[in-house]
Structure 1
Amino acid sequence: MKKFSFKSFMLGVLVTVLIAESALPGLAAATMKTAELYYNSIKVKLNGKILDLRDTKGNPVEPFVMNGTTYLPVRAIAEALGLPVSWDAETQTVVLGQDPEYNQPAAWLGDLKTFTGEHRYFVNDSGIYEGIDFMANDGSTYERYWYPDTKEVIYLLNDQYSKFTGTIYLTEDAKNAIQGFKNGRSRYLIYLDDRLVYTSDEIKPGSLPCEFSIDVTNAYKMKIVHQWDHTGYSGFYNSTDGASSTPIGNPALWK
């Protein structure tokens, strides 16, 4: 058994060190104590398989015993379990899995000012409202939804974001028709710096919500065009007709 003793061990930030594996601001304010760590080649099994525990640099990390308690490297264990793991330095919090409190976009599309064109953007501040505006035809609900109020809307991203996500859906009240036309069809085109990068599936009566995720890294300008075909046969053209029946739910920009 290997015994390791050192003074001024930062017990209050033990998990922080195991996760971040680097010095972090504010450690000096942590509780300072002397501790003895015991290494005894402790192994960890997951579903009958011994785990190969390593840090972010690929170096082996070994569990240890302190004051009768076995300590495991949080990041290595979380990754073995398939859980995302991160460190919130501001609140001194280890975040395991998807926590909505820490998994917020850098900006909502509707909060951005347009460069050209106009949009309509609705937010239910009191929670997700299961009404015809916030509900899709499959029963999904969205806290926010957006649609163009002009044929096209342009936003300046200025290389500030990495991803644009959202869900195009057919509202509950339009599930049998789009803008009053039984054969109506709707779709969105998205351009980055005048280059077409995304064409949505056709949204028509009976269509299910369509999620998208677009890489906007290095993009300075994003243009969103709504197209509509009220007959279902003559072809799409740029229009705002039908846009309110097929909004984009929770449109978000991420760093």
Structure 2
Amino acid sequence: MSPEDALLAPNLPALLAPGRLMFVVLHKDALRERIDVRATRVLAVEEDVVFLAQTEPPVARLSSGHDIEVAVLAPAAAGEMRPVGYVARLLDVRQDYPMGEQRIDALAVSAPKPGDFFETSLRMHYRVPVDEDMGVGILLEGFETPELLDFSAGGARVRVAALEEAFVDLKVGKSVPFRLLFLGSGYAEGDGVIRSVTPSEDGRSATFGLFFTNMEIRDIRYLERMVARVVSACRQREGDAGYE
């Protein structure tokens, strides 16, 4: 079994052991780079239900019946820890879960099955600097050789030549179709809305920031997975792969 396969087929009893650190992802908006992640811990597993400690801030009882993402850090290659998650149903928010002689607040969520896990990200705001050997690039409508400087799950910074014809239309708020390429793997596409334009001192180029919008769900999910993978590799190279 490859390291990637092992990551997505974790040891369930070990991951769901009482006291294990978990994360509840209540909201994830890749387009706006917003994510609501709350730390929790496993209290117990009873048949097909996992009981988790109530989070801070607490999950409201009104959320019962909704689908959420439950994530955990799983061992990958070379001792690295990477986040994997599964889609769970929030079954109940209890205020009287028995823990020894105490009664505590707890979340009851559906338990995972083998094969339910997927690679995920617990951070949306980490922007990945692009280097030549990373195998990541961008295509922009109207530009021959745009240079991708950095990217995240929700946006990117790109440098373009001021001599190109499309440059005259670069204004804040303008939408430019893009395709973010991961060589040897695939691509994600949509529209990039320009948030800022910074001309170079010599006037020959400009750097603009954009955020991604009008993406299909499959492109959003693919981009999230690839960002999580690239971020993890970057942190491993930096000697900082851990999530605190």
Report the TM-score, using the length of structure 1 for normalisation: 0.27
> Higher relative contact order at CA 8 Å, sep ≥6: structure 1 or structure 2?
1
TM-score, normalised on structure 2? 0.28
Bigger proportion of residues as strand: 2
Structure (1 or 2) with the greater helix fraction: 2
- Greater Cα radius of gyration, structure 1 or 2: 1
